[in-house]
Structure 1
Amino acid sequence: MINPVASLVTAAAQQMRRSFHGKAQHTESRQSQFLQTLLRTYQDTEMGRQLKLTAISSVDQFRAQVPIRPYADYEPWIEKAAAGKANVLTPDPVTYLNFTSGSTGKRKLIPVTWRSRQFRVKATNTSLFFALGAAAQKRQTSLGKILLTSSIELEGHTSAGIPYGPVSVGDLRQNNVFKRSLMAHPLMALEPVDSLARHYVCFLFALANPRLKVIGANFPVLALKLCEHLEQQAESLLTDLEQGTLASWLKLDEGLRSQLLTRLKAHPQRAAQLRLQRQQTGRFTPQMIWPHLNFITTALGGTSDFYLKRFPDYFGDTPIFGGIYASAEAVFGAYHSFNNDGAVLAIESGFYEFIPPEQWDVEQPKTLLAEQVQVGECYRILVTNYNGFYRYDIGDVVEVVGFYGKAPIITFRHRRGGLLSSVTEKTTEYHVIQVMQTLMAEFEVALTDFCITLSKEETPPPYLVNIELQMGDAIANPQAFLERFDQELQTIHASYAVKRRTQVPPPQLRILQPGSFATMRQQMIAQGIPESHLKFPHISEDRQFLTNLPVEQNITLSRPLS
């Protein structure tokens, strides 16, 4: 029987995709219209008056008159808005402040208004319609529920009473009734402060639904953590699913526990079915529990590829979808297909400029517009949006991988400044992730995680290749592994190859004890970084980073390579 709601949603998705494609054919004019409308709307704010926005009548004039700025230049203005002063950066009242995690730099506050949120939602909806279209192509047309496990706990309130917290918290708290109805659990299931308790409660609701369609996680590493929790708590979960109970050991506020118990029901048949499958397979994975999954949605680009290599073990061939490429400050793109890390520039959510590499060290660089970029080239991306930012430099480096109509398709590669240099070679996370993926395949070994640091004992310092093997794995020839790391990095990174011949010392391999990276993550969380937004670096110039972790084995090269 055809589901009328699903049919309506599919038809709406097709219409929205056609509409967006038509707009993408006229990217230049759409971007110009977006900018002019924003400038007229914001011209009477304090920032707008300082920038003399009323005098700007063209894109070229905007680029000539308004300087490129980093977050530090906005901070005094944001502090005034956070304290409750009106009309500072935005004409609309600030209703929320996105609070960045701080895992890749200083924590930031980003003003959010009802208007700025609508433009973020527009990009989210565009990506949703792309996802529904991709699912329809696979004949996965039915509308279904999504499992989420990220927290909705606020960080706090400003002196003016404005709530602040991670961007995902603000998005979830402000979701409309329709989007909340798509969740496999009530919103209150995301309230537990304890991470394990929150995952557990969300699992219980989702386990009752054999036709779950989507699993969402902010980052791939969190999707893997979700899977680990699921397998580790399988027996307890099945008992609670069978009886409609909540394990007494869960760290839950008693009031919340009581509310959750009123929503939980016993599902003895479903529990018996899952218990039998677990006994037969020895596993308790999402692909076994929910065989009708349409896709997994999580962040793509950057460091994601390293963790995505482990997805088949838990999700089989379930497609991966990126949703939106965004930060706390802005939306940059909407993903348009499964298993593709290219996002279509969000031409309806911001005005974008691109800085070519030869201009990166210029104080006020010349920029390119969306239709002027070239496929295969990397650029630093700037954004002007309704959060009150003008030509804002977040530091993201993106690669243009194609075009959708005349809108560029971009992939996040790394954050500028996130570089590793023994001398001046400028190694990026993208470089080392490519190398590690090659080595894992070549040596048939799985890594829990890795991070390349610099020695604090030598000048210039050698690279320290810190790795943690998955339980039960071993490298038969660590010396060969290290040699291949050195060779492969020289192959893909010309600057490293040149400097390695005469200046950069041979790298060293440090095999860390099991649980080392979990310990580091807990330390970062204890420092105040929200778990759902923790981005663990794969390179670090902090020479104290990882130094206190126990090392199982140290390996050096027996001969220098050049």
Structure 2
Amino acid sequence: MSLSSQLKYLEELTTNAKQVQDNLLEEILRVNGNTEYLRHFLHGSSDKESFKKNVPVVSYDDVNPYIERVAKGEPSNVITGETITNFLLSSGTSGGKQKIFPVNNKYFEKMSFINGLCSSILSKYIDGVREGKVMTFLNTRPLATTPSGLPIAPLSTSFLMSDYFKNLPSKCYVSPDEVILCVDNKQNLYCHLLCGLVQREEVVSISAAFASYLVQAIQFLETHWNELCGNIRSGCISEWITDRGCRDSVSVILGGPNPELAYMIEHECSQKSWEGMITRLWPNSKFIQTIVTGQMSQYIPILEFYSNKLPLVSPRYASSETIFGVNLNPLCKPQDVSYTFLPNMSYFEFLLVDEANNDEIVELVNVKLGCFYEPLVTNNFGLCRYRMGDILQVTGFYNSAPQFRFVRRKGMVLSVNVEVTTEQDILKALNHAGLVLESSALMLMGFTCYVDISTIPGHYVFYWELKEKSFNGIVKLDKKVMVECCCVIEESFDVLYRKFRTKYGSIGALEIRVVAQGTFDSLMKYFITKGASTSQYKTPICIKDPQGLAILEDKVLARFFSDKSPPL
């Protein structure tokens, strides 16, 4: 589909959102109405009114037994009339546990459509997007199979291994497919950077699924730039790159010795400060494309430091369950990102997040501006009125399609007593603390937190990994600065927290435990051994995993506590 055709189709979809949604639900019920799952509720009916009256709102635990039966080899019509060909594996790091979801090529077709639409939207706002190349940190992991023999993998791996990716008419990446499909993460990342450096003048954008992985790629460059320069100088790739596809394809891109380029990169990378390093190494880059909403917002200051404040574009809102929508204003500030829901992706309903009336369910076109909702998803593959666990706020409409700001994950909270400190509260508090860190030239590279109830009273604990802004600088902790960070975080929390902390003394002083550099890499590796995808990994904001906590605790270098109660 051409750029103009995609944008025209977007107008049609969003203008006729209600009709598109009704038609999609009609199709889903026609195909899935006879499944074992839906027969319990519809008893042969397949109309919208019966669906809304009889089909319950469910969580993953409700549908998991049906999904597991299909995964073990029972016919797909246990839960869906579609033929299931793949299972998508969620990361498990944001919601607490891994989940699997049945899909087929319809999902990947929709993903291809979204990718093309995002590209068209970017072309509308940024000149030359389609003329250069993208340095994208795409990777895959080894495929597993269900007991019935169907492939099971994270969304990114499943899509990259599908025909929809392999048969793209034009690929604008600096890295060849052999690198993208390499399942060894270290070799994959090294080769991405090597290809990107050799083709530095052609790079117009830099991309990763999540901001956390892009930061990881920059840190990898910090530790491997000397070796990369050696490869460029000699025209030969390092011997430890043993993946044959990587070696052969990257050797072609290297094309022989290039001492001038190696010298230039060495000159930049050996400078004391890495501020603006992305634009220094890739001078024609126009923007960074990666998700920086929700818990990824913690990486905004780091990316702005390294990129000389290039635009940070959050292109889409998607999950293993469904694709939701796109960002139609890609150059807006990260904190202003809203996603326009596309009515042809899934049938969407919304549960009003209001303690006084939390049973009200509304359709996509009937949400109200400013209100907070949890989306319910009904897709082609067996999910019906499925609670996503995301909390969204309506920020506007594009034609008749609503636009939503991601607020937080439901249930991801800290609490000692009856206070509720949400993901949004935590991220806001950390932004305030980040301003204090500025005075000591430190950057917060990673964090997580939990409630320590082994003390009396219980208190909040934040694990922080810090880094000097100057390259290879030694982190020097100023007690006054760190204690002030503790106090600022507490002052940022809501009145209930401050009342229990100050007036009743039933919450103890907030603690920051500074961990050694590389600790959050170790935490990521632990979660990957449990099945998380490298490119989809998100550090849990609130950590509850005992072994994960043990990894953090083993690397604690210093502890700091707030030294005063927050004002009421």
TM-score (norm 1): 0.88
Within 2, Cα distance between the matches of 1:83 and 1:229?
Answer: 40
Query: Which deviates the most, 68-77 or 198-207?
Result: 198-207
Partner of residue 155, structure 1: 143
Partner of residue 81, structure 1: 70
| 1:388/1:132 CA distance change after superposition, 3 Å | farther
| 1:17–1:130 Cα contact (<8 Å) kept | yes
Equivalent AA in structure 2 for residue 129 of structure 1: S
Partner of residue 466, structure 2: 469
Partner of residue 311, structure 1: 303
User: Aligned with 1:153: secondary structure?
Assistant: coil
| Structure-to-structure mapping, 1:328-367, within 5 angstroms | 328-340=320-332, 341-358=337-354, 365-367=359-361
Picking from 441, 451, 454, the partner of 2:451 is 454
| Structure-to-structure mapping, 1:133-532, within 5 angstroms | 133-135=124-126, 139-174=127-162, 175-178=165-168, 181-209=171-199, 210-250=201-241, 252-253=242-243, 255-256=244-245, 259-260=248-249, 263-269=252-258, 272-273=260-261, 275-279=263-267, 282=270, 285-340=277-332, 341-358=337-354, 365-444=359-438, 445-471=442-468, 472-473=474-475, 474-475=477-478, 476-489=480-493, 493-500=494-501, 501-502=503-504, 503-532=506-535
Partner of residue 6, structure 1: none
Equivalent AA in structure 2 for residue 28 of structure 1: K
Task: Please identify runs of 4+ aligned residues in structure 1 that moved more than 4 A.
Answer: 359-362, 541-545
Aligned-pair CA distance for 1:280 = 5.2
Aligned-pair CA distance for 1:71 = 1.2
| 2:295–2:541 Cα contact (<8 Å) kept | yes
- Note the residue ranges of structure 1 that are not aligned, 5 or more in a row: 1-8
Within 2, Cα distance between the matches of 1:384 and 1:57?
Answer: 14
Partner of residue 27, structure 1: 17
Equivalent AA in structure 1 for residue 347 of structure 2: F
User: Aligned with 2:62: secondary structure?
Assistant: helix
Within 1, Cα distance between the matches of 2:389 and 2:347?
Answer: 16
Aligned-pair CA distance for 1:342 = 1.1
Query: Which deviates the most, 15-24 or 322-331?
Result: 15-24
Aligned-pair CA distance for 1:154 = 3.1
| 1:259/1:544 CA distance change after superposition, 3 Å | closer
Within 1, Cα distance between the matches of 2:208 and 2:520?
Answer: 19
| 1:510/1:179 CA distance change after superposition, 3 Å | farther
User: Aligned with 1:130: secondary structure?
Assistant: helix
Equivalent AA in structure 1 for residue 318 of structure 2: A
Query: Which deviates the most, 234-243 or 321-330?
Result: 234-243
Equivalent AA in structure 2 for residue 351 of structure 1: Y
Query: Which deviates the most, 409-418 or 511-520?
Result: 511-520
User: Aligned with 2:512: secondary structure?
Assistant: strand
Picking from 36, 55, 65, the partner of 2:26 is 36
| 2:353–2:372 Cα contact (<8 Å) kept | yes
Deviation per CA, 1:65-102: give whole Å up to 9, x if none: 21111111221221222234233333332121111122
Within 1, Cα distance between the matches of 2:34 and 2:91?
Answer: 32
| 1:521/1:23 CA distance change after superposition, 3 Å | closer
| 1:141/1:516 CA distance change after superposition, 3 Å | closer
User: Aligned with 1:152: secondary structure?
Assistant: coil
Equivalent AA in structure 1 for residue 161 of structure 2: R
Equivalent AA in structure 2 for residue 34 of structure 1: L
Equivalent AA in structure 2 for residue 478 of structure 1: M
Deviation per CA, 1:527-554: give whole Å up to 9, x if none: 3322222211222356775352343332
**Cα root mean square deviation, aligned:** 2.6
Equivalent AA in structure 1 for residue 294 of structure 2: G
Aligned-pair CA distance for 1:223 = 0.4
Query: Which deviates the most, 404-413 or 81-90?
Result: 81-90
| 1:262/1:355 CA distance change after superposition, 3 Å | same
Between the aligned residues of both structures, percent identity stands at: 22
User: Aligned with 1:535: secondary structure?
Assistant: coil
User: Aligned with 2:373: secondary structure?
Assistant: strand
Aligned-pair CA distance for 1:412 = 2.0
User: Aligned with 1:532: secondary structure?
Assistant: coil
Aligned-pair CA distance for 1:497 = 3.4
Aligned-pair CA distance for 1:281 = 6.6
Equivalent AA in structure 2 for residue 506 of structure 1: A
- Note the residue ranges of structure 2 that are not aligned, 5 or more in a row: 469-473
| 1:443/1:105 CA distance change after superposition, 3 Å | closer
Within 2, Cα distance between the matches of 1:556 and 1:470?
Answer: 20
| 1:394/1:360 CA distance change after superposition, 3 Å | farther
| 1:420/1:339 CA distance change after superposition, 3 Å | farther
| 1:120–1:349 Cα contact (<8 Å) kept | no
Deviation per CA, 1:490-549: give whole Å up to 9, x if none: xxx344234433233332232333333233223323333222222112223567753523
User: Aligned with 2:388: secondary structure?
Assistant: strand
Deviation per CA, 1:227-274: give whole Å up to 9, x if none: 122232222222323443220133x24x445544664442544x5135
Within 1, Cα distance between the matches of 2:356 and 2:155?
Answer: 28
Within 1, Cα distance between the matches of 2:195 and 2:488?
Answer: 47
Aligned-pair CA distance for 1:390 = 0.8
2:560 pairs with 1:560: no
| 1:241–1:266 Cα contact (<8 Å) kept | no
| 1:281/1:459 CA distance change after superposition, 3 Å | closer
Aligned length: 540
Query: Which deviates the most, 66-75 or 208-217?
Result: 208-217
| 1:199/1:74 CA distance change after superposition, 3 Å | same
Aligned-pair CA distance for 1:434 = 0.9
2:72 pairs with 1:71: no
Within 2, Cα distance between the matches of 1:467 and 1:183?
Answer: 34
Query: Which deviates the most, 415-424 or 81-90?
Result: 81-90
| 1:242–1:268 Cα contact (<8 Å) kept | yes
2:101 pairs with 1:110: yes
User: Aligned with 1:189: secondary structure?
Assistant: helix
User: Aligned with 1:325: secondary structure?
Assistant: strand
User: Aligned with 1:91: secondary structure?
Assistant: coil
| 1:408/1:173 CA distance change after superposition, 3 Å | same
Deviation per CA, 1:84-141: give whole Å up to 9, x if none: 4233333332121111122232211111112233233333333232222222xxx335
